[in-house]
Amino acid sequence: MNNVMAKFDMDELLNCMHCGFCLPTCPTYQQTGLETFSPRGRIGLMKGVAQGKLPLDETFEKNMYACLGCRACETACPAGVRYGRLIETAREVIEDYKRATGQRSAVRRSVVRKVMFKQVFMRPKMLKAIGTVLWALQAIGLQRFADKTGLIRILPRSMAEMQEAVDKVASPRARQARQKSIAPVSVAADAAVGNGAGSVVESETRPVAGLGAASPAAEPRRTYETVWSRPLRIGMFTGCIMDLMFYETNQSTARLLAKAGCEVVFIEQEACCGALHAHSGEKSDAVSLAKRNIEAFERANVDLVVNNAGGCGAALKEYDDWLKDDAEWAYRAKRFVEKVRDISELLVDLPPLKFTKSLNARVTYQDSCHLAHGQGVRRQPRALIRSIPGVEYVELPFADSCCGSAGIYNITNFDMSMQILDDKMKHVKETKPDIVVTANPGCLLQMKKGILRAGLEDQIEAVHIVDLLNRVVD
């Protein structure tokens, strides 16, 4: 029991000085107006449990799982409190404690947990099998099937409702036909890497200090200098949900990279990134997945690891933190993390894409929380969208506020998730876009769902940024 509690990072908890700066940015506090639903309140509760002033009971568990884990509070916090870690630890302590005392979780989550975390996401084969089943169901019409069999009544309402938003999944045959590697498309001589991009030499150039640095143009920039006469070798991190539900988006990602002069390889041994496990208190599973990935990508000998799901990317970039106390793995994790890039982050630094079409549309962008708050990637996807010929870019008010998807939150906390989504849709509606762009599969599904709920399916479309770019390059 005591060593369970010892996992709380007391210094980090004390670092929160209760100023409340994070409250206005927290979607659950905005919905409820209650401190139990605020970052400051949640940190206070963690402190209470860590100090033994509060019992580690179901009330505490419920409150810890009512958090989206969107980390907007982290961006807002002047004290630099690493809330993302605190909430992960709190959930880890809850799960450890329940295991140690033989307690069971609240029912709904326990079903989701057992099936998803222990079976599905730990085994790539299982995921493929699910893909096949989903494809088959869709082929015969899932809605009809579910209605007919009464499946819809057995599924939790949240899952049943969410499935309306699911796209067509790829057929097993298409998956089998995936090439293991895609060669670079030769780039025009005038492009920066025309003579062959090389192993990555990154130079971080910071602008000279001075107040001028406040302008966005002065953000640090990475440049990929040409050293070898060979293209950048990219390990494609496909992600499990992404590959299951948005297989084509992964294929497009690889094609875009090839067009930008990169060699892209798919890695057979890739495992789930571990984000969902870490966010749900299953840290040891998350860590073993991390090790599998580090090993697999090391073996593939890639220059960079690229992903197109903000949630996965944030987890991949935290591997060094997960493994910092492991003598054998700490260095390997650090090396791995240095190579991880979100697709937008990399594309803006590669030679500009050659657009062959224009897109006459009003486009807006909904940040992925873990891309914006977790990885600090905000400017790049916007810049890419703006660069498309014909696009009228409009900024969505509160774009970096969570859409309510938040991993499996829209299943476990369906009502709150939908309240947050409905608020989000009000802003979308005011913005009047033709297209809402997202950068993470969970957000994409949620926005599709939101569009359906708001009855806007004839006016607005939700699209992954890669798919948008893919529409305008041949």
Partner 1 sequence: MIDARLVERLVDIVGPKWVLRDSNELHVYSFDATPIVQAFPDVVVMPGSTAEVAEVLKLANDHGIPVIPRGSGTNLAGGTIPVQGGIVLNMTRMNQIYEVDEKNLTATVGPGVVTGEFHKTVEAKGLFYPPDPGSMRISTIGGNVAQCAGGMRGLKYGVTKDYVIGLEYVLPNGQILRCGGKNYKDVAGYDLTRLLVGSEGTLAVITELTLKLLPLPETKRTLSVFCTSLVDAARIVERTISARIIPATMEFLDQATMRVVDDFSHLGLPRDVAAMLLIEQDGPEEQVVRDVERIVQIARSEGAVDVQMAKTPEESAKLMTARRAALAALSRLRPTTILEDATVPRSRLAEMVEAIIRISEKYQVQICTFGHAGDGNLHPTCMTDERDEAEIARVEQAFEEIFATALSLGGTITGEHGVGMTKMKYLSQRVGEGGIELMQAIKAAFDPNGILNPGKVVAKAFRPRMVVRQP
Residue 353 falls in which region: left (phi positive, over 0), alpha (psi -120 to 50) or beta = beta
In the set 7, 30, 31, 36, which binds partner 1 (CB under 8 A)? 36
Cβ proximity of 408 and 116 under 8 Å: yes
Pure H helices in 77-123: 83-101, 107-112
Cβ proximity of 182 and 255 under 8 Å: yes
In the set 49, 64, 77, 257, which binds ligand SF4 (CB under 6 A)? 77
In the set 81, 197, 264, 421, which binds ligand SF4 (CB under 6 A)? 81
Is residue 353 classed exposed, middle or buried when 0-12, 13-18 and 19+ CB atoms within 10 A define those classes? middle
26 binds, among partner 1, ligand SF4, none (CB under 5 to 8 A by kind): ligand SF4
Pairing state between β 461-464 and 435-438: parallel
Contact between 217 and partner 1 per CB under 8 A: no
Contact between 314 and ligand SF4 per CB under 6 A: no
Cβ proximity of 281 and 96 under 8 Å: yes
139 binds, among partner 1, ligand SF4, none (CB under 5 to 8 A by kind): none
Pairing state between β 391-393 and 435-438: unpaired
**CA–CA distance, 382 with 457 (Å, rounded to integer):** 23
Q: Which is nearer to partner 1, 72 or 391 (CB)?
A: 72
Q: Which is nearer to partner 1, 40 or 283 (CB)?
A: 40
48-56, 62-70, 140-148, 295-303 -> range binding ligand SF4 (CB under 6 A) = 62-70
Q: In what order do the strands lie in the sheet with 361-365?
A: 391-393, 361-365, 435-438, 461-464
Contact between 281 and ligand SF4 per CB under 6 A: no
Cα torsion for 47, 52, 54, 60, to the nearest 10°?
60
14-22, 122-130, 175-183, 276-284 -> range binding partner 1 (CB under 8 A) = 14-22
The contact pattern for partner 1, residues 83-122, with x = CB under 8 A and - = no contact, is: ----------------------------------------
98-106, 213-221, 234-242, 457-465 -> range binding partner 1 (CB under 8 A) = 213-221
Contact between 14 and partner 1 per CB under 8 A: yes
Cβ proximity of 58 and 383 under 8 Å: no
Positions that interact with partner 1 (CB under 8 A):
11, 14-21, 23-24, 33-36, 38, 40-41, 44-45, 48, 53-55, 57, 59-60, 63, 77-80, 207, 209-215, 218
